[in-house]
Structure 1
Amino acid sequence: MIREICKDVLFLARKAAPATPEDLPLAADLLETLAHHKEGCVGMAANMIGVSKRIIAFDNEGQYMVMFNPVILKKSGPYETEEGCLSLTGVRPAKRWKTIKVQWQNEKFQQRIKNFTGWTAQIIQHEIDHCEGIII
C-alpha cells in the first residue's frame, strides 16, 4: 500500500524502535511507497511513512533493498554534501562517509554485514539518520 509521506518534524526527530518479524507488511508498504516516488526519491525510512520502526528501503544500484535494524559499524573517507528529503523542504548540508560497513537483518531476520561505497553508502547513511531521529 502506498502511504502518505510524514512531514511532522517532531515525529521524525524521535528515535525509531527495533523492527520485528511482525513488521514485514510495513516493509512491503515502504517499498511500494518508495517505488511510487522513484522520480524524486532513492531511499526511505519507516518514519517517513508514519511508523517509528528501524526499517529502511533504498535503491542499491538499480535494485531495491530493505534493511531491518541497520547499524553502521565502521566508516571512512568523510566528505561534505547537500541532501534533500521528501519529508523536509529544501536541501541541507550533511557530513557523510565514502565507505561504510553496515550490519542489518534481512527479510528472514538473518544478520548480514556488508561494505557499501559511494552513492549507495550516502543513501544508507541518510536513512539510518532517520532511524536515529537525526534531521539533517
Structure 2
Amino acid sequence: MIKPINKNLQSLKVKSQPASIDDRQVAQDLLDTLEAHQVECVGMAANMIGMHKRIIAVSLGPINIAMLNPEITQKSQPYQTEEGCLSLTGKRSTTRYQKITVHYIDLTGESQSLNLTNFAAEIVQHEIDHCNGIII
C-alpha cells in the first residue's frame, strides 16, 4: 500500500528498531511507495513512511529490492557529493563511499550480501543513514 511521505524532522531523527521477517508488510508498503515516487526517488527507508524499522527499499537498475537490517560491512574510496531527499527540501553535501558491501535479510528471511559501487552504493548509504536517524 502506498503510504504518505514523513517530513517531520523530529520523527526522521529517531533511530529505527531492528526488523524481523514479520515486518514484511512494512517492506512491501515501502516498495509500493518507492514505485509510486519512481520519477523523483531511488530509495526509501521505513521511517520515511512513519515506521521506525530498519528496512530500506532501493532501486537498483530495473528492479526495486527491500533490505531488512542492512549493514555496511566494508567501504572504500570516500568522496564528497550533494544529495536530495524526498523528506527534505533542497540538496545537502555529504561524504559517501564509492564501493561498499552491504549485508541484509531479504523478504524470504535469507541472509544476503551485495557488493555495490557508484550511485547504487550511494543510495544504500543514504537510506541506512535514515535507519540510524541521520539526515543529510
**CA distance in 2: counterparts of 1:57 and 1:6, whole angstroms:** 15
**CA distance in 2: counterparts of 1:3 and 1:109, whole angstroms:** 24
Q: Identity across aligned pairs (percent)?
A: 50
Q: 1:110, CA displacement in angstroms?
A: 1.3
Q: 1:96, CA displacement in angstroms?
A: 0.3
Q: Give the SS at the match of 2:98.
A: strand
**CA distance in 2: counterparts of 1:23 and 1:104, whole angstroms:** 14
**CA distance in 2: counterparts of 1:83 and 1:5, whole angstroms:** 17
Deviations 1:33-57 (A, max 9, x none): 0000001000000000000000000
Aligned length: 136
Could you list the runs of 4 or more consecutive aligned residues of structure 1 that deviate by over 3 angstroms after TM superposition? Answer: none
Alignment of 1:69-80 (within 5 A): 69-80=69-80
Q: 1:28, CA displacement in angstroms?
A: 0.8
Aligned-residue Cα RMSD (Å) equals 0.7
In structure 1, list runs of 5 or more residues that go unmatched. Answer: none
Alignment of 1:59-74 (within 5 A): 59-74=59-74
**CA distance in 2: counterparts of 1:109 and 1:96, whole angstroms:** 28
Q: Give the SS at the match of 2:2.
A: coil
- TM-score (normalised: structure 1): 0.98
**CA distance in 1: counterparts of 2:30 and 2:44, whole angstroms:** 7
Give the residue type in structure 1 aligned to 2:127. Answer: E
Q: Give the SS at the match of 1:25.
A: helix
Give the residue type in structure 2 aligned to 1:34. Answer: L
In structure 2, list runs of 5 or more residues that go unmatched. Answer: none
Equivalence for 1:14: 14
Equivalence for 2:39: 39
Equivalence for 1:24: 24
- TM-score (normalised: structure 2): 0.98
**CA distance in 2: counterparts of 1:66 and 1:99, whole angstroms:** 20
Give the residue type in structure 2 aligned to 1:97. Answer: Y
Q: 1:92, CA displacement in angstroms?
A: 0.4
- The answer to whether the aligner puts 1:90 opposite 2:84 as a matched pair is no
**CA distance in 1: counterparts of 2:30 and 2:81, whole angstroms:** 26
Deviations 1:58-97 (A, max 9, x none): 1112210110000000100100000000101110001000
**CA distance in 1: counterparts of 2:60 and 2:39, whole angstroms:** 15
**CA distance in 2: counterparts of 1:120 and 1:128, whole angstroms:** 13
